[in-house]
Structure 1
Amino acid sequence: MPNTPHITRRELLRGAALVPVAGALAACATPAAKPAASSSAAPVATSAANPFGVAADKPLEVWIFDGGFGQDYAKNIHQPLFKTKYPKVEIKHNATKEITKVLQPRFAGGNPPEVIDNSGANFMDFGALAQDSQMQDLTPLLDAPSWDDPATKVRDTIDQSVIDIGTYDGKFSVLGYVNYIHGIWYSQKVFRDNGWEIPKTWDEFLKLCETIKKSGKMAPFTYAGKFPQYLYEPLLTMAAKIGGSEVLVNIDNLEDGAWTSEAMKTAATAWAEVGAKYLMEGTTGLDHVQTQTAQNKYKVAMLPSGSWLENEQKTTTPADFEYGMFPIPDFTSSDKMPYGTLHTQPGENFIVSAKSANPQAGMEYLRAMLSKKAAGDFSELVRTVTVVKGASEGRQNSPGVASASKAVADAGANALYYRWQTWYGPLKDEGIAATGELMSGGLTPDKYLERMQKKADEIKNDSSIKKYKR
């Protein structure tokens, strides 16, 4: 895969005529005419029931990433709930798998939609959006009364990590709606039927891969070859287990030599071995759905993914497949973080466009989403866990959700996250390209990490790119 061309963040948002590698922001189309200033309308009085002053009949445009969770939850849960309070508001619902390609021209043209689920492999660069003041400050949402209980603020109904991770430049502006839980996914039925044990050490993992390979029943391992970010996730998690959470903090903070640390070298070498010995044939040419479907067809035993997987594969998963998830095994007994350490963080990120025609309705839409009913119905429909406290209580959990939820409970405080891929789009693109080459043998572990460090250093030394810190 080619290197990402060097472009500034403002060029990305203003529509530079570039064609970056997959995952980078796509080139903008001709800017559309800017809408009339929304401030010309008479302001609507705010109240406990209408904390943002939503106009009764002003339209609201919503764009949903049509990926692992589909779009039915928006059409059948969130939007009807919003309409119970604002029946005259016309909701213009849209969905796409290509958020950047479709919506970047709207931002460049000054007429972005109100609500965007900025998710998927080709999400818009959050850091660039923040730098260009494109995201609405959602702090008033946090301080508004919750949809369910006027006496409780929204901020008290969600996990604190949502606020921490969604804050850019001191402003809470990105709402992660789903608690993404990452790990290695497998069929509990397959493991049970074959007597395969969950590996708790890396040696056990490699021995399991060897056993599965020799059985001839299926390949041991695969990942979304066309989207190598699925593989850099377990690689980074392993590195943090080995060297401590500061490994990821240093990468996020663009520290000198962060990518070439010993923990990163060990993790990259370990996963390169998996790439060389245990991948399902043809992995590098397949996308996430193809590799996941191969697992459903019992062609491969294990793959790295997140807690959206079960819903994404619901149409191809056998009834008795019984998804399960296990954490990255211990590399050695000297790992700085214990067995069970997980990468888990809020995802399925929603934003409200600051320069849209009706940001007030956009924030109110998010407030409705954060109600217990909306979040609970969502969890049940798409088989996952939201960030709304207690929303899944008393609901029927699927095997995968139960497995992932137990893993989170077992991990306790040993939870990891990283932010470089949402802060710095060009670094994310480099990570995707370079990890693909590492796993296909095109880069040695050392060369892989040198390449990532070089890109991180370029970004660090580029004064046009705003820097963020953890």
Structure 2
Amino acid sequence: MQTVNRIRTIRNAVLIALATIGTAQAGTLTIESWRVDDKTLWETVLIPAFQKKNPGIEVKFAPTAPTEYDSSLTARLAGGTAGDLIACRPFDVSLALYKKGNLEKLDGKPGMEHFPASSKTAWQTDDGKDTFCMPIASVIHGFLYNQKIFKELNIQPPKTEAEFYKVLDTIKSNGKYAPLALGTNDQWESSQIIFTGLGPNYWKGEEGRKALIAGKEKFTDPNFVNAFEYEARLGKYLNKGASSQTYGDSQNQFALGKAAIYPAGSWDIAYFNDNSKISMGAFPPPVPKAGDKCYISDHNDIGMGVNKKSKNKEDAYKFLAWLGSQEFADIYTNKVTGFFSLSDHLISVKDPVAKQMIDWRKSCSSTIRLNAQILNRGEPSMENQLWNVNAQVLNGKLAPKEAAAQIQAGFAKWYKPQQ
């Protein structure tokens, strides 16, 4: 009898030890990110949803302020103290991390099969052979409009360039509202929202962007000059003090119902939902003329990679696989309003304005911001030049052809295919 009890005691001890080992192996996953505003969402919604499917795996979301993220992450990676999962900025910043050996190659990993080739571009080597971050979400550019004002003035969302000018003229002649809530003080909106948001309809999205990279087209070609000309004409509908109007000023102007149309990034939807009582709608960048194919700037914004020096890669890949799931795509798209999953899952978007914007993917071809891939690698910086040049075009200080020539000259100084 004592022998039987002794065997039972030993068996129970072994089972307890095995269970303890299993728990210890799970460990804690740490996620690096610059999205400090998402901290509550990760801690109260996303991580618990993952843990429900993967009990025993602890996850910590440890964000760093956006302005400090790149430098502090690089330091932690070098010192071996970085987290297991790395939130990836698009294109060159993350590519540099991969080239330094900081990120794992993810091709063929569970979850990656749910992302089309176009969504991986921001996190691949230039030749497209290695993918080092899983795509999470993109932002879309277009226009928000005040539905009450449109109804009052008996106008409809424009579909073509000519219709857009007619709408703007109607609003301007009425005199009660600003046609466009847009300033040029901060400059970035001039480039990232106006020029690279409206321009794809002129340079035909990916076709024109890739032609610049290949050296087959130049900024001085008609397709790109036409985009600058469109922008110059829009500048006539800005406030007199537009050159000193900040991004925050524009948001406030639209939120208070003082402007009819707001050139937007989809991330703005959440701001107006929280800070305004106006009734909004959205329309995509109007095409040059009726019957033209439409293009939208559907810009890859955030991805997730695995730290090559992570001591808990098994669980990191489990988390990555969940990031590629339908469940995550649904939660993220609906909780982070204006950030749209890049996966091929069918998503039911609850916010009506966000749904309008994501539905543009059904009728328009998506492209990324013109200079995001490869074209920002030399000096003078194309990003900085585009900010400055586009602000001047909107302010009426620089002619479209001069703007195109200035960008092209800077580009040709360092980029061999353009020489």
TM-score range, shorter chain: 0.7 to 0.9
Alignment of 1:124-163 (within 5 A): 125-141=93-109, 144=110, 154-163=111-120
Q: 1:177 to 1:240 in 2, by over 3 A?
A: same
Q: CA deviation at 1:164?
A: 4.3
Q: Secondary structure at the match of 2:297?
A: strand
168-177 or 344-353, larger mean C-alpha shift: 344-353
Give identity over the alignment, percent.
Answer: 18
Report Cα offsets for 1:271-310 as digits up to 9, x if no partner. Answer: 02222x1113544445444422321111222232232221
Q: TM-score, normalised by structure 2?
A: 0.78
The 2-side partners of 1:135 and 1:103 are apart by 12
Q: Secondary structure at the match of 1:184?
A: strand
- Checking the alignment, whether the CA contact within 8 Å between 1:157 and 1:388 is kept in structure 2 is yes
The 2-side partners of 1:65 and 1:124 are apart by 19
Unmatched 5+ stretches in structure 1: 1-49, 145-153, 463-470
The 2-side partners of 1:255 and 1:422 are apart by 14
Q: 1:296 to 1:367 in 2, by over 3 A?
A: same
Match of 1:434 among 389, 392, 412: 389
> What does residue 7 of structure 2 align with?
none
Q: Secondary structure at the match of 1:172?
A: coil
- Checking the alignment, whether the CA contact within 8 Å between 1:231 and 1:304 is kept in structure 2 is no
**Counterpart check, 1:81 vs 2:42:** no
Alignment of 1:343-362 (within 5 A): 343-355=297-309, 361-362=315-316
- Checking the alignment, whether the CA contact within 8 Å between 1:422 and 1:428 is kept in structure 2 is no
> What does residue 354 of structure 2 align with?
401
> What does residue 381 of structure 1 align with?
335
Greater helix content: 2
- Checking the alignment, whether the CA contact within 8 Å between 1:65 and 1:119 is kept in structure 2 is no
Q: Secondary structure at the match of 2:220?
A: coil
Q: Which amino acid aligns with 1:175?
A: M
Alignment of 1:196-235 (within 5 A): 196-223=155-182, 225=184, 226-229=186-189, 231-235=191-195
The 2-side partners of 1:419 and 1:182 are apart by 13
> What does residue 60 of structure 2 align with?
91
Unmatched 5+ stretches in structure 2: 1-21
- Checking the alignment, whether the CA contact within 8 Å between 1:114 and 1:356 is kept in structure 2 is yes
- Checking the alignment, whether the CA contact within 8 Å between 2:57 and 2:315 is kept in structure 1 is no
**Counterpart check, 1:313 vs 2:259:** no
Task: Name the Cα RMSD after superposition.
Answer: 3.3
- Checking the alignment, whether the CA contact within 8 Å between 1:421 and 1:427 is kept in structure 2 is no
Q: 1:109 to 1:215 in 2, by over 3 A?
A: farther
Runs of 4+ in 1 over 6 A off after TM superposition: none
The 1-side partners of 2:414 and 2:308 are apart by 26
Report Cα offsets for 1:103-147 as digits up to 9, x if no partner. Answer: 344456564444343459xx9734433443443312243xx2xxx
**Counterpart check, 1:295 vs 2:295:** no
Q: How many residues align?
A: 384
**Counterpart check, 1:445 vs 2:413:** no
> What does residue 330 of structure 1 align with?
287
Q: CA deviation at 1:265?
A: 0.8
Q: 1:178 to 1:311 in 2, by over 3 A?
A: same
> What does residue 261 of structure 1 align with?
221
The 1-side partners of 2:165 and 2:132 are apart by 42
Q: TM-score, normalised by structure 1?
A: 0.71
Structure with larger Rg? 2
The 1-side partners of 2:113 and 2:373 are apart by 25
The 2-side partners of 1:440 and 1:360 are apart by 54
- Checking the alignment, whether the CA contact within 8 Å between 1:78 and 1:368 is kept in structure 2 is no
